[in-house]
């Protein structure tokens, strides 16, 4: 089959690889119909996530049809149209049982990397480096899905492929960001990053009762989409001072909830010295992640407010304003998404018309265009929010 | 890219690169404390020089900034440009063991290793699985099989280290040709759903005793499982014969036990497709 493989920093190639096979009794094989790029893939492509190996198939947000199933798969059948949560849970360990499947004890077959770096090991993720299990990704014609009964969800009738595919990752990530922030009526929620996850976080914040939602980005079409599609007010961080603007918009209190939908490759937009410092330290390996968004959130958030972090971080950061965070009494919530907990609820919102993620798909391309598509996505060219591949053509 | 230089062999930052460079630099009072002064000097001096350099224009400023960055990096990475003695010269706490004629056995005392895991299951299920020693090759890939001889006795046959490592059918060093490590075990204590202890009897290259202890985890968290292995030969010798250190053996056994009991399978990426076959294999470095 055809697959999009990582072969080094900024080196993606479409290659011929063997078809996947059933290995474990709870596996299914999915024939991939749609597979989306994700902002977090850029961290892999840019070389910021260690433990990638040449030949690794990337991609983790996908929809398709089950074509084979293992002998112990109970609830799913051949022919089912399913989405699969990008972060793999076993469904049985303590974390999976408590709705924290991204912390699954069992799904990462290669726990040593994460244990060394993090103390404990989290779940396996499709197409997201060997620290997260080394599972082959979804930018391919077929993919093996382990523990399928727990990770794959039948798409309800009446929900189109274009809407459903994002329930794999972007929608639950954004929803979880809003959900774990504990939004209360009257809250003002600020979301850093108006890409796919940020858009979904903004919409979810409204669904969960936020009074006002403010989206922060510098890409004009993304800010436009935040206004038109996600119902947010927007701030362009390349034009205004974010702290001043947020205080002005909130009567000097600051937003009650600040959501990070950016992650480790952030820039501050306004403070050239800070950006130079972070890039220099990242370049010589003295920090792995750039925390400009975290610093802005800590500074801007209201006293006693909550920071909810779903942008991906990988390692160490520097100049983290812990004094401000502590003395302002901030609450930090963070984590990879626990989509298994949200998938049914999100399909419900989509069916009711309260949520339509299909506008994230600005481009639909064949897998052969993979390398160019990621370049366009990275450069945010041609108003690109998300490219979705159709590996079957 | 810098992150790649840390990950060239597909690993996270390892001790003596990023983490320990920062970690030991910040630890201060630990065994490395005496050696960190120079590093702090390098880091603070480097920062000052860098800031001064950045404030100046022209080549002079650039050179100062670059020098400052280098000095900072040297300090942070533990290169100690101001030349204290290396940490490696600190007295080895295990040196007393080396007194007397040099032998392969560096340890005269039994080597004890313990691993622990919490399994979301009742103690009975876990106990029954382990109590049938014939199941243990599923948990210890270095075992070929375990024959249960009686209610208390069993014979354990290992794969040789080379078999375990490469799947080859050759005997390991230290074993006579065609022979693989094996031993006879007897059960000592069987405290249903709580404790199981056993030890080797008779002649074996790997004399050891072991115990599996189960206790309820708080709340609804399942069962805490402790596996203790006490080898009467050094870990290096165990590794030479079995292809795995005692610590590795214990950890892997519990990881597999947890997966077997909780999910009924072992997570794996074996036999999955990957690219990179069209060209020569390249490591993830630039």
Nearest to A284 among B11, B12, B73 (CB): B73
The answer to whether B262 contacts A92, with C-beta atoms less than 8 Å apart, is yes
A302-346 tens-digit pLDDT: 999 999 999 999 888 988 999 999 999 999 999 999 999 999 999
Does the structure show a pLDDT above 90 at A75?
Answer: yes
Choice among A117-131, A271-285, B258-272 with the minimum mean pLDDT: A271-285
Average confidence score pLDDT of chain B: 72
SS3 label, residue B48 = helix
Question: Rounded CA gap, A223 and B100, in Å?
Answer: 75
For chain B, the structural domain boundaries read 2-85, 111-263
Residues A256 and A136 in one domain: no
Q: Name every chain B residue with its beta carbon within 8 A of the beta carbon of A91.
A: 263
A349-364 tens-digit pLDDT: 999 999 999 999 999 9
pLDDT band (50, 70, 90) for residue A165: very high
pLDDT of residue B1: 33
Mean pLDDT of B141-145: 95
Q: Name every chain A residue with its beta carbon within 8 A of the beta carbon of B268.
A: 23-24, 109
Question: Rounded CA gap, B146 and B133, in Å?
Answer: 6
Q: Name every chain A residue with its beta carbon within 8 A of the beta carbon of B2.
A: 282-285
SS3 label, residue B63 = helix
> Range of A378's domain?
2-169+337-389
Q: Both tokens of residue A79? A: 């022919």
Question: Rounded CA gap, B2 and B25, in Å?
Answer: 20
Distances in whole angstroms, Cα of residue A53 to Cα of each of A127, A358, B272, B274: 11, 32, 14, 10
Nearest to A56 among B274, B277, B281 (CB): B274
Q: Both tokens of residue B190? A: 């069987």
Choice among A184-188, A269-273, B86-90 with the minimum mean pLDDT: B86-90
pLDDT of residue A138: 98
- Give the chain A residue nearest B272 (alpha carbons): A20
Distances in whole angstroms, Cα of residue B23 to Cα of each of A323, B33, B64, B73, B82: 20, 11, 27, 14, 19
Establish if B221 touches chain A: CB-CB under 8 angstroms: yes
Q: Which residues contact A127 (CB under 8 A, 6 or more apart)?
A: A41, A56, A57, A58, A59, A60, A135, A136, A137, A138, A139
SS3 label, residue B264 = coil
Choice among A117-131, A135-149, A205-219, B40-54 with the minimum mean pLDDT: B40-54
Residues A62 and A133 in one domain: yes
pLDDT of residue B74: 61
The answer to whether A50 contacts B4, with C-beta atoms less than 8 Å apart, is yes
Of the candidates A292, A314, A334, which is a domain's last residue? A334
CB B253, CB B129: distance < 8 Å: no
More confident residue, B199 or B88: B199
CB B117, CB B258: distance < 8 Å: yes
A81-133 tens-digit pLDDT: 999 999 999 999 999 999 999 999 999 999 998 888 999 999 999 999 999 99
pLDDT band (50, 70, 90) for residue B34: very low
Nearest to A94 among B69, B222, B273 (CB): B222
Mean pLDDT of A160-179: 98
Residues A165 and A25 in one domain: yes
Establish if B281 touches chain A: CB-CB under 8 angstroms: yes
Choice among A118-122, B72-76, B109-113, B237-241 with the minimum mean pLDDT: B72-76
Average confidence score pLDDT of chain A: 95
The answer to whether A105 contacts B6, with C-beta atoms less than 8 Å apart, is no
Nearest to A146 among B5, B72, B267 (CB): B267
Nearest to B265 among A16, A24, A49 (CB): A24
- Give the chain A residue nearest B50 (alpha carbons): A277
Of the candidates A334, A354, A380, which is a domain's last residue? A334
pLDDT of residue A68: 98
Residues A35 and A87 in one domain: yes
Establish if B83 touches chain A: CB-CB under 8 angstroms: no
CA A319-A323-A328 angle, to 5 degrees, is 130
Does the structure show a pLDDT above 80 at B239?
Answer: yes
CA A32-A38-A44 angle, to 5 degrees, is 105
Question: Rounded CA gap, A257 and A307, in Å?
Answer: 6
The answer to whether B262 contacts A106, with C-beta atoms less than 8 Å apart, is yes
Residues A269 and A380 in one domain: no
CATH number, domain with residue A235: 3.40.50.720
CA A151-B223-A85 angle, to 5 degrees, is 10
Does the structure show a pLDDT above 80 at A205?
Answer: yes
**Residue % of chain B over a pLDDT of 90:** 49
Q: Name every chain B residue with its beta carbon within 8 A of the beta carbon of A110.
A: 269
Residues 100-129 of B with CB under 8 A from A: 118, 120
Does the structure show a pLDDT above 70 at B272?
Answer: yes
Q: Name every chain B residue with its beta carbon within 8 A of the beta carbon of A24.
A: 265-268
Residues A268 and A368 in one domain: no
The answer to whether A7 contacts B275, with C-beta atoms less than 8 Å apart, is yes
As a whole number of Å, the CA-based R_g of chain B is: 26
Residues A192 and A330 in one domain: yes
Q: Report residue A243 CA to chain centroid gap.
A: 25
What is the number of helices (H) and of strands (E) in chain A?
14, 18
**Residue % of chain B over a pLDDT of 70:** 52
Q: Both tokens of residue A179? A: 């959900």
Q: What is B111-263's CATH superfamily?
A: START domain (3.30.530.20)
Of the candidates A334, A351, A377, which is a domain's last residue? A334
Strand A212-217 relative to strand A188-192: parallel, antiparallel, unpaired? parallel
Mean pLDDT of B180-206: 96
CB A52, CB A10: distance < 8 Å: no
Nearest to A51 among B11, B264, B269 (CB): B11
The answer to whether B274 contacts A26, with C-beta atoms less than 8 Å apart, is no
More confident residue, B99 or A228: A228
Question: Rounded CA gap, A133 and A125, in Å?
Answer: 7
The answer to whether A15 contacts B278, with C-beta atoms less than 8 Å apart, is yes
Establish if B271 touches chain A: CB-CB under 8 angstroms: yes
As a whole number of Å, the CA-based R_g of chain A is: 20
Tell me which range, A164-173, B9-18, B67-76, B97-106, is most confidently predicted by mean pLDDT. A164-173
Does the structure show a pLDDT above 50 at B20?
Answer: no
B159-169 tens-digit pLDDT: 976 665 554 44
Question: Rounded CA gap, B43 and B21, in Å?
Answer: 12
pLDDT of residue A241: 96
CB A265, CB A254: distance < 8 Å: no
Which residue blocks in chain B are alpha helix, DSSP H? 2-5, 18-27, 33-55, 58-76, 123-131, 136-139, 161-166, 235-242, 246-263
The answer to whether A19 contacts B10, with C-beta atoms less than 8 Å apart, is no
In angstroms, what separates the C-alpha of B259 from chain A's closest C-alpha?
6
CB A212, CB A191: distance < 8 Å: no
Among left, alpha and beta (phi > 0; psi -120 to 50; other), residue B202 is left
Residues A180 and A326 in one domain: yes
Question: Rounded CA gap, A14 and A244, in Å?
Answer: 46
- Give the chain B residue nearest A5 (alpha carbons): B275
Nearest to A109 among B268, B284, B286 (CB): B268
Residues A18 and A158 in one domain: yes
Question: Rounded CA gap, B231 and B243, in Å?
Answer: 15
Q: Name every chain A residue with its beta carbon within 8 A of the beta carbon of B271.
A: 21, 23
pLDDT of residue A26: 98
Residues A329 and A183 in one domain: yes
The answer to whether A286 contacts B283, with C-beta atoms less than 8 Å apart, is no
The answer to whether B267 contacts A108, with C-beta atoms less than 8 Å apart, is yes
Q: Name every chain B residue with its beta carbon within 8 A of the beta carbon of A13.
A: 275, 278
Does the structure show a pLDDT above 90 at A64?
Answer: yes
Neighbours of A249 (CB within 10 A): 17
Number of domains in chain A: 2
Residues A230 and A310 in one domain: yes
Residues A278 and A350 in one domain: no
Compute, in degrees rounded to 10, the torsion defined by CA atoms B74, B80, B83, B88: -140
């Amino acid at each position: 089959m055809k697959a999009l493989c990582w072969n080094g920093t900024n080196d993606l190639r479409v290659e011929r690889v063997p078809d996947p096979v059933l290995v474990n009794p709870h596996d299914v094989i999915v024939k991939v119909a749609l597979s989306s790029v994700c902002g977090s893939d850029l961290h892999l492509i840019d070389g910021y996530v260690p433990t990638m190996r040449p030949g690794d198939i990337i991609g983790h947000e996908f929809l398709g049809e089950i074509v084979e199933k293992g002998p112990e798969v109970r609830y799913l059948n051949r022919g089912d149209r399913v989405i699969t949560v990008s972060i793999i849970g076993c469904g049985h360990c303590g974390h999976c049982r408590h709705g924290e499947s991204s912390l699954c004890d069992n799904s990462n077959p290669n726990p040593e990397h994460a244990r060394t770096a993090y103390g404990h090991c989290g779940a396996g993720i499709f197409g997201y480096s060997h620290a997260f299990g080394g599972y082959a990704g979804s930018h391919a014609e077929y993919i093996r899905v382990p523990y399928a009964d727990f990770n794959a969800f039948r798409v309800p009738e009446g929900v189109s492929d274009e809407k459903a595919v994002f329930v794999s990752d972007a929608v639950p990530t954004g929803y979880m960001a809003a959900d774990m922030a504990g939004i209360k009526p009257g809250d003002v929620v600020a979301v850093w990053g108006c890409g796919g996850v940020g858009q979904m976080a903004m919409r979810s914040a409204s669904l969960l009762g936020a009074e006002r939602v403010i989206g922060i980005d510098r890409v004009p079409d993304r800010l436009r989409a935040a206004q038109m599609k996600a119902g947010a007010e927007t701030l362009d961080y390349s034009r205004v001072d974010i702290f001043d603007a947020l205080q002005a918009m909130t009567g000097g209190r600051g937003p009650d909830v600040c959501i990070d939908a950016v992650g480790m490759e952030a820039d501050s937009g306004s403070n050239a010295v800070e950006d130079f410092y972070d890039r220099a330290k990242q370049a010589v390996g003295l920090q792995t992640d750039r925390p400009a968004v975290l610093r802005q959130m800590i500074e801007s958030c209201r006293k006693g407010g909550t920071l909810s972090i779903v942008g991906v971080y990988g390692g160490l950061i520097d100049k983290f304003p812990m004094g401000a965070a502590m003395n302002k009494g901030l609450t930090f919530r963070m984590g990879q998404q626990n989509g298994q907990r949200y998938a049914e609820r999100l399909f419900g919102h989509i069916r009711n018309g309260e949520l339509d993620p299909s506008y994230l798909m600005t481009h639909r391309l064949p897998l052969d265009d993979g390398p160019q598509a990621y370049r366009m996505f990275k450069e945010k060219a041609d108003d690109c929010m998300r490219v979705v591949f159709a590996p079957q053509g | 890219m810098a992150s790649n230089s840390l990950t060239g062999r597909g690993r996270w930052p390892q001790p003596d690169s990023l983490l320990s460079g920062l970690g030991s630099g910040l630890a201060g009072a630990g065994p490395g404390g005496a050696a960190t002064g120079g590093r702090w000097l390098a880091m603070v001096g480097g920062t000052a020089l860098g800031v001064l350099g950045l404030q100046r224009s022209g080549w002079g400023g650039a050179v100062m900034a670059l020098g400052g960055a280098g000095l900072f990096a040297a300090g942070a990475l533990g290169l100690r440009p101001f030349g204290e003695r290396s940490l490696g010269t600190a007295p080895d706490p295990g040196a007393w063991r080396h007194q007397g004629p040099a032998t392969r056995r560096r340890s005269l005392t039994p080597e004890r290793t313990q691993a622990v895991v919490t399994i979301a299951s009742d103690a009975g299920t876990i106990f029954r699985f382990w109590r049938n020693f014939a199941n243990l090759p599923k948990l210890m890939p270095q075992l070929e099989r375990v024959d249960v001889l009686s209610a208390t006795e069993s014979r354990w046959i290992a794969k040789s280290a080379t078999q375990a490592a490469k799947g080859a059918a050759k005997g390991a060093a230290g074993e006579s040709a065609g022979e693989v490590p094996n031993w006879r075990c007897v059960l000592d204590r069987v405290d249903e759903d709580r404790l199981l202890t056993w030890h080797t009897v008779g002649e074996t290259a790997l004399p050891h005793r072991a115990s599996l202890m189960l206790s309820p985890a708080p709340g609804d968290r399942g069962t805490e499982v402790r596996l203790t292995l006490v080898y009467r030969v050094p870990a290096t010798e165990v590794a030479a014969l079995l292809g795995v250190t005692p610590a590795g053996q214990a950890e892997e056994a519990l990881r597999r036990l947890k997966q077997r009991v909780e999910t009924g399978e072992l997570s794996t990426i074996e036999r999955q497709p990957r690219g990179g076959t069209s060209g020569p294999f390249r490591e993830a470095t630039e």
